[in-house]
Structure 1
Amino acid sequence: MSEGDTFLEPGMRVENPAHPEWGVGQVQSNIGGRVTVNFPDLGKVVVETSRVTLLPVFDP
């Protein structure tokens, strides 16, 4: 796991800048650099954070 993804915890909202059409998803788990995210219209996607950077989404 890279240092930059250790903060991703279940319940956090994130987006994938490479696929903005996926919308904002919710982190389900973060195990060994593999983050499972549930996107509303796409479903669950497993993202390898060594290859993809997920951006946190913070509500104002």
Structure 2
Amino acid sequence: MGALLEPGMLVRHPGQPDWGLGQVQSNIGGKVTVNFEHAGKRVIMSDVIDLIPVFDPSQAT
């Protein structure tokens, strides 16, 4: 799934729901940089964590 994430996409971290909605900043070599509402910028290894894409932010609770 990580290979499909592109800059600008909205995601959630499955293990950290309190981080809120995140926006993908970059995806290079399996390292996905995401800026989360309540946790700031985080680098996620896509081979370890499957971020959850959010296609409709109004339904993202």
Residue 7 of structure 1: how far off its partner (Å): 1.1
CA distance in 1 between counterparts of 2:34 and 2:3 reads: 15
Other-structure match for 2:52: 55
TM-score norm. by structure 1 comes to 0.88
Paired residues in the alignment total 57
Q: Which runs of 5+ in 1 are unaligned?
A: none
**What CA RMSD, in Å, does the superposition of the two structures yield over aligned residues?**
1.0
Aligned with 2:5 (options 5, 8, 19): 8
Q: Which runs of 5+ in 2 are unaligned?
A: none
User: What is the identity percentage for the equivalent residue pairs of Structure 1 and Structure 2?
Assistant: 56
Richer in helix (by share): 2
Residue 29 of structure 1: how far off its partner (Å): 0.1
TM-score norm. by structure 2 comes to 0.87
